[in-house]
Amino acid sequence: MNQISQKLYKGFLYAAMVLMAISCGEVEDYTPESSFMKIYNDEKFESAYIPMDIVQAGDNGFFILSAFDAWNTYILRVDEAGEFMWDYTLEDTYVNPTQGLFYKDDAFYFFCMDDLSLATYLMKATDATKTAEVDRTYGNIIYPLHASAISDGFLLESYDRESYSTQLTKLNTDFNTVWEEKYEVEQDVEEPIISHLTRIGNRLPFFTGEAGNTYFLNGYYNYSLSLLFVDASDGKQKGVINGFRDESALSSVLYLDGNNYAMSRYDFGNNIIIPKSEINTTDIGISTELEGNDHPEMTPNAMVHSELIDVNGKSITLFATTTKAGEMLLYAYDALSGKLVGTHHLGNINPYEAVDFVDTSDGGLVILGNTFVNGRFSRITLTKLSEQEVIDFAY
């Protein structure tokens, strides 16, 4: 078992929760899973963990997918209070854990890659086995970059180095291939992709999603990192929002309703959040033409994760990102009006980076992050906000 299990840092309550418990004098009214912060440490100082994704297992805690020492694969299982349950480090054969983690029929599924053939594996992990095993192999899909769940299956983005193409594969609910389509790249981008996957270069915002009868993917196309809109029935391209190389591009896209999307983009180090914008998915556009709010507090070319969540009956567009001060930062926008309703900073002592979040079944919010213990050792961190804490800043 990985030594991380022996070095779980104790979680703590936010000051507001502590003061509430003290003032009321009724500690039994507090449920420890409602609010906490955990850092999962490892006594091997040279080890580095880079969290990738998180999924809630019904009412029974969370499953975390992480890279380990560059691009090896590590999984961590915790309960609803963030306490360690089990973990597993995959053999060196299984590299490039891909963002996109799914909970289905009491099992966890994710994609990774063979270190030699580059073929894509679908991995399956369960609480019964406490390991991850190959569920199936996709020999024609190499360099998996991102996966997402859609209404009738899954989308898997990858890069085909033989044809210099970004590839999108649609899978059904049983992970069988429905169709695949390629989008030509006019130059060899294997080097920046490998640098992205192994964490030795810039992290790039690869992502996929669904908008009614249209799918979208952010990946290399022609000469730039661009957002492609494709037909859901066969993957044929409909429109595109072009970036400029990989120095100016969309960093997140979230479908709202009708023709409306919430987005974020970066442009040579600057960051812009676009809480609501009407997009024609059959047009050819440029990312720099999308107007929004400039956010100089964010790290240059920041990674951003966005989701629609329900906060006390109100639809909120939530963006999670990282500040130059080494904090995780949440921006909450009214999904209907696009107006900013609140922000929330997370982190203390060590530098922190926001990675992902999930709204929990109890109305709270769990934020997956990366922290650097003593400013140096890369570790997984998990923060839980209670329902009331979310209402306080996002309603």
**pLDDT tier for residue 46 given thresholds of 50, 70 and 90:** confident
**Domains of the chain (ranges, CATH numbers):** 46-137+321-328+345-378 (no CATH), 143-308 (2.40.10.480)
Instruction: Report the C-alpha gap between 315 and 299 in whole angstroms.
Output: 27
Radius of gyration of the chain (CA): 20
pLDDT in tens, 322-379: 999 999 999 999 999 999 999 999 998 899 999 999 999 999 999 999 999 888 899 9
pLDDT of 299 > 60? The answer is: yes
Q: What's the average model confidence in pLDDT over 105-123?
A: 97
Q: Identify which of 150, 162, 156, 206 has the alpha carbon closest to the alpha carbon of residue 181.
A: 156
pLDDT of 32 > 70? The answer is: no
Burial readout 116-138 (b: 16 or more C-beta within 10 A, e: otherwise): eebebbbbbbeeeeeebeeeeeb
pLDDT in tens, 207-242: 999 999 999 999 999 999 999 999 999 999 999 999
Average per-residue pLDDT for the chain? 92
